[in-house]
Every structure is written in C-alpha cells, then in structure tokens.
Amino acid sequence: MDGPDAGEVVMKGIPVSHGIGIGPVFAETESFPSEAEAHLVAPEDVPAELKRLEVAMRLAREELAKVREEAARKVGDHDARIFLVHLQVLEDRSLQEQIEASIRDEGVSAEAGVAHVIGRYADAFSKLEDPLARERATDVKDVGRRLLRHLSSSVEETTASPPTRYILVTKELFPSDAARLDRDRLAGIVTEVGGKASHAAILARALGIPAVTGVRQTARLLGGKTTIVDGRDGTVVVDPTKETLERYLRGAEAVERVRTALAAEPALPAVTRDGVAIDVLVNVENAGDVMPEDLGDVAGIGLYRTEFVYMDRDSFPSEDEQFEVYRRVVERAGHREVVFRTIDIGGDKRLPYFRVKDEDNPALGWRGYRISDEWPDMFIAQVRALLRASAFGHVKIMLPMITTVEEVRRAVAYVDDVRSDLARRKVAFAEHVPLGVMVEVPAAVFAIESMLKEVDFVSIGSNDLIQYLLAVDRNNARVANLSQPLNPSVLRAVQTVIRAANAAGRPVSLCGEMAGSYYCTLVLLGLGLRRFSMARHYVHGVGRLIRAVTMKEAEQVARRVLAFTTTAEVKAFLNARTREIFREMGIAIDEVAL
Ligand code: PEP
Ligand code: MG
C-alpha cells in the first residue's frame, strides 16, 4: 500500500516487539550463496585451500561457542541451545570430509567446496516431505554462511559495514542472527518470514528491539534511505515524508519519555486507591528470564509457556531434563507462584523432531491439549516433572486450548494417576498443586460454569480467544487490523468468564496480550479481573494505572464500555479516559498508542 506521498511507502506486517525504530536500512540480502563461484585452483594450491578450510572451521567453532555463551547470558540457556545444534553440524566429521573431497577432487577453492557441500545438504533437507525436517535446511545454511564469512578475506565486511544504528531488513532472521543482535546498534528489525512465535521474534522481544515480521516484498525497502519500524502496530514506513518522520520521531521520543516517567514511581504492589489488591504477574518463555532481580515485586509467573522447553532440540526432553528446568524456575521464583502451561504445540508452534502432517487450518487443528490428550506419554512425563518440581516451590499447572469438559476430566485423571504413582514410589511433591484451564476457545466460554466445577482456576488466553471468536488468524498480517481486543463481543466473553469464576470463588486471570494493554486495564479491572499476567515490559504501566483508580471508577468505566455497540466507540472512550489518568499522573502519553 503506497502512502500519500509518492516517495513514501507504508507497509503492514505483524508487530512482534514493541517500540519505534527509525534509521537507515541495512539489508542482509544474501541468505546463502548457493552459486558461489566455482573458483578453480591449481593442483599445487589445493593444500593451501584445505588449510584455509581447516582454519575457517576452527574459527567458526570458536565463534559459535562464544556466541552461544553470549546468547545464554543474554537470553538464557534455553534460547541459546540452537547454537549447540550449529556446533554439532560443524563438528560433523563427514561434513568436513565431504568439503575436503570437493576441494581435492574438483580442484576448487575452499569457498566453492563449502558452497557445494552445504548447498547439497540444504537441498536434501529442503526436498524432504516433512515440513519440520525441511526447516533443518535453515540451520545448515546458517552454518554455511558462517564458514563463508570466515573464509572471506573481507570477513567482517558483510556485517561490519552497517551504519552505527540501523534497521535490519532481511527475508528471514536466523537464530544466529538474532543472537548477535545488539540492542545499541539495532534500531529495529523487519522480516518477511516468521510469525510471532518464531525464535527470532522471541529473542527480539527479550532484547527489547522493535520488530515487525510478515512484511511482504522487503526488497521494496532496500532502496529507501530512512525507514520507520513501528513495533506497536506493525507499520513500516520507507522514505517517510517530512511530516510522517516528524510524527514518528515525536512518537519515539514519547515512548522513551513515557518509559522514564512510568519508571519514576513504584508501580507495585498494584493496589487500587480504595485498597483492592490486584495480582500483577509476568509471562515467561524461557528459564533465563526468571531471575529474582527481574521478577522484582511481581506476584509471580502467570504464564510459563513450557513448549519452549521442547524447542531447539533434536528430541523430546526427558522427564528428568524437564524436572531440572522447572525446579530451577520455581527455585528462582522463590515465594512466588509459577503457572506452568503444559505443552502448547501445533498451529504455528512446531517441534523439529515431532512429525505432524500439514493441515489446511492448523489453528483449528491438532494443537494445544488435543495433542497431550491423544499422546498421554508426552503429557504424563511433563506432569511428573512438574509435580516433582512442586516439592521445590509454588507450582500450578494449566492446560492450553481446552474445548470440552471431557478433555478436562481426562487430564485430571492423568494428573491423579501421576500423583498416586509418585506417592507409591515415595517421590516428593507438593500436597496441593492447583490445576487450571485456559479459556481460549469460545466453547469453553459457554461451558465455563461446568469447567469451573472441574478445576481450581482459569486463565483467559485472549490471544487465541480473539482469534477464534472473531475468526481472525493471529498470524495473518492481512487481517491483523481485524484482531480487536476491544470488540464488544470479546469484552462480553471476557465478562462471562470473570463473572462465572468470581461467583464460583475460583481465581481467574487473563494472560493474553490484552492484560498488558493500557487501553484494557480499566475495563478489565471494572469487569472484576484481579489477576493480570503480561510481558515484563508492561508491568509498570499497568501497575501505575491500577494504583491511580478506585474500583468504583473502574466499574463505572466497564458499565459505560459495555453499553457501546462498536469497537470504535469502546476504543475512543477508553483511550480518552486512560490518557486522562496518565495525564493526572503527569505522564503525557498522548502520542503513544497505548
Ligand atoms: C493466548 O492465547 O492468549 C495465550 C496466552 O497463549 P499463547 O499466546 O501462547 O497462544
Ligand atoms: Mg493461546
């Protein structure tokens, strides 16, 4: 979609990491030079080429080990695990032998040898029927790129020449790219490929770099001088007009100002002005994020997405491996609770080693608890690990994407069996480990009263609930504007669940993105929500809002909002009211999309 000015191009993608980035574009156009020149060398130069290869392999291995260490420090062991896979590729003797054979037999340069062999490996993977195995091609190519960088005399140049602060534009972000992402140099990231759940998106969020994925034809960005990345709503503007640029510069300044202003006063404990205490919890994707100093005053981890424990590996983690991770998490969380959501794969979250047939509608397919239900071995191993970890901290277990009461009953039976077995074997576990379900499927909203009889708590997964209620694929950039948390139907569904849970005396939380949206805080509070679980980034703003109002005010807001019939009216009202509250706190939030 072209903007109002001939030179300005506005593109839309999926926002995956918050904030506004403005800068010159640095494009990583190359992914892997499959047709590296077949540079022939004289027979007497072959030994020198073999030596160059040997050195490049050693340097690449050393570099990878360093990158892995760095990544583990920055984003946690778990997200850094992919580099181990890359190291294994590099340490594969047969790979090196094939490259050496190619150099010797074909009389080509080390670069050409690498390109041939890596190309062949990647090709073989990419032709496999299994889409998950096909993804292995990416890792192999990534290793190939690294080797070629080390072989190149201008080794550093491809990556060292970008401007000091820039927007990285690339078709696809490889995990190894993500780890060398430097918050100080990267103003933003734009990619064509990759959904919200991609490794790259998760790492970008963990590092706080504004990022947008799903932007088609990134080639259109390449000629641009200045590019704007708006990680709040997925807008990318190339060669903005003076007015647009000024608007976004003001926006970026405002984001920064607001961040500083919000941090100037304590946000927690989140107690309303009339003394109602609200639990503010955080969502976590990897164990590296669970540092006591990062958790600060939050009440706990309201959503631990355990499927990330299963990613970046070659096989399912054993019960013991999982136990180690979960135990470390609860120990670090100390007195705080940790709500472990059991494995939620399928849809767009896949495991490289778990074959799932391609589905026409993966969001409506074999995903979430459905997989655990049909594959109890995997589920039981996880539940055993979680229950064992409960001896070391405050564990809660939560089931994803529940549709029917029967599913809940079967899960409860599995958990009870595991409990009995552990007890029989005299393995320690906490006496009371609450079991809850996520309300993400509209059917669960309508069955909420029955569900509540089966479980100890519920949590509203608004990301999926919105997707299913409004029939909007959450990963499809084309319909992203239709994904509306403030749609009156969504609010009614949320109200139904909160009301039923409060009436049944069961804790209810909301752990989708909505919980961290400042627009939504007042209405959720007014609807009776007492537990909000969100990305760490939003804790301060939400906490400050809660501390600024009384329950009476929040309830009035909710009543007004429920009387509206359109999303636009709801948004306009909440926008005005929320900004007013921030203004009263001396925070000029006007230019920040909340
Ligand atoms: C949700 O759907 O709202 C949720 C919290 O789960 P996820 O985003 O991991 O699907
Ligand atoms: Mg979900």
Regarding the beta carbon of 511 and ligand 1, being less than 6 Å apart is answered yes
DSSP 73-112: HHH-HHHHTHHHHHHHHHH-HHHHHHHHHHHHHHTB-HHH
Strands (E), 285-373: 300-305, 337-341
Structural element, H or E, at residue 331: helix 319-333
The Cα 81–Cα 400 span in angstroms is 25
Residues that are catalytic: 199, 511
Distance (Å) from CA 575 to ligand 1 centroid: 24
The Cα 390–Cα 340 span in angstroms is 11
Regarding the beta carbon of 349 and ligand 1, being less than 6 Å apart is answered no
Distance (Å) from CA 135 to ligand 1 centroid: 24
Closest by CA position to 153, among listed 115, 116, 110, 113? 110
| Residue partners of 534: CB distance under 8 A and separation at least 6 | 280, 281, 282, 283, 302, 511, 513, 515, 516, 542
| Residue partners of 164: CB distance under 8 A and separation at least 6 | 185
The Cα 413–Cα 326 span in angstroms is 22
The closest residue, in CA terms, to atom 8 on ligand 1 is 463
The closest residue, in CA terms, to atom 7 on ligand 1 is 463
- The widest CA-to-CA distance across the chain, in whole angstroms, is 86
3-state SS of 4-73 is CCCCCEEEECEEEECCEEEEEEEEECCCCCCCCCCCECCHHHHHHHHHHHHHHHHHHHHHHHHHHHHHHH
Distance (Å) from CA 460 to ligand 2 centroid: 9
Regarding the beta carbon of 512 and ligand 1, being less than 6 Å apart is answered yes
Please tell me the predicted confidence (pLDDT) of residue 258: 82
Nearest bound ligand to the CA of residue 348 = 1
Nearest bound ligand to the CA of residue 283 = 1
Distance (Å) from CA 344 to ligand 1 centroid: 9
Minimum-distance ligand 1 atom for the alpha carbon of 303: 5
Fold of 43-151: Enzyme I; Chain A, domain 2 (1.10.274)
Distance (Å) from CA 82 to ligand 2 centroid: 24
List the structure tokens of 543: 């906490």
How buried is residue 40: exposed, middle or buried, by Cβ count under 10 Å (0-12/13-18/19+)? exposed
The closest residue, in CA terms, to atom 9 on ligand 1 is 305
Nearest bound ligand to the CA of residue 307 = 1
Q: CATH number of 9-30+162-261: 3.40.50.2300, 3.50.30.10, 3.40.630.40, 3.10.20.310?
A: 3.50.30.10
- CATH 1.10.274.10 maps onto the chain at 43-151
Regarding the beta carbon of 341 and ligand 1, being less than 6 Å apart is answered no
Regarding the beta carbon of 464 and ligand 1, being less than 6 Å apart is answered yes
| Residue partners of 55: CB distance under 8 A and separation at least 6 | 150
Q: Identify whether the C-beta of residue 483 lies closer than 8 Å to the C-beta of residue 466.
A: yes
Minimum-distance ligand 1 atom for the alpha carbon of 511: 5
Regarding the beta carbon of 461 and ligand 1, being less than 6 Å apart is answered yes
- CATH 3.20.20.60 maps onto the chain at 279-584
Closest by CA position to 228, among listed 220, 238, 219, 218? 238
Regarding the beta carbon of 339 and ligand 1, being less than 6 Å apart is answered no
The Cα 460–Cα 407 span in angstroms is 17
Closest by CA position to 110, among listed 201, 167, 45? 45
Please tell me the predicted confidence (pLDDT) of residue 461: 97
CATH 3.20.20.60 for domain 279-584, yes or no, is yes
| Residue partners of 79: CB distance under 8 A and separation at least 6 | 71, 199, 202, 203, 206, 285, 286, 288, 308, 312
User: What is the full per-residue pLDDT of the chain (594 aa) written as tens digits?
Assistant: 444 455 788 998 888 888 899 998 877 644 444 444 456 777 887 888 888 888 888 888 887 888 778 777 666 676 677 777 788 888 888 888 899 998 888 888 787 788 888 888 888 887 787 766 666 777 787 788 778 777 754 333 333 455 678 898 887 776 555 556 677 788 999 988 766 656 567 667 767 789 998 887 777 776 667 899 998 888 999 889 999 999 999 888 888 888 888 888 888 899 999 999 999 999 987 776 677 777 888 999 999 999 988 886 789 999 999 999 999 999 999 999 999 999 999 877 778 788 788 899 999 999 999 999 999 999 999 999 999 999 999 999 999 999 999 999 999 999 999 999 999 999 999 999 999 999 999 999 999 999 999 999 999 999 999 999 999 988 776 777 788 999 999 999 999 999 999 999 999 999 998 998 899 999 999 999 999 999 888 899 999 999 999 999 999 999 999 999 999 999 999 999 999 999 999 887 765 654
- CATH 3.50.30.10 maps onto the chain at 9-30+162-261
List the structure tokens of 273: 């002005």
Regarding the beta carbon of 78 and ligand 1, being less than 6 Å apart is answered no
Q: Given ligand 1 and candidates 306, 307, 342, 344, which is best to mutate, with the most ligand atoms within 8 Å of its CB?
A: 344
The closest residue, in CA terms, to atom 4 on ligand 1 is 461
Regarding the beta carbon of 111 and ligand 1, being less than 6 Å apart is answered no
Regarding the beta carbon of 307 and ligand 1, being less than 6 Å apart is answered no
List, in sequence order, every residue forming a beta bridge with 356; answer none if it has no partner.
none
Describe the chain by its helix, strand, coil percentages, rounded to 5. 55, 15, 30
Distance (Å) from CA 305 to ligand 1 centroid: 9
Please tell me the predicted confidence (pLDDT) of residue 477: 66
Nearest bound ligand to the CA of residue 465 = 1
Distance (Å) from CA 368 to ligand 1 centroid: 10
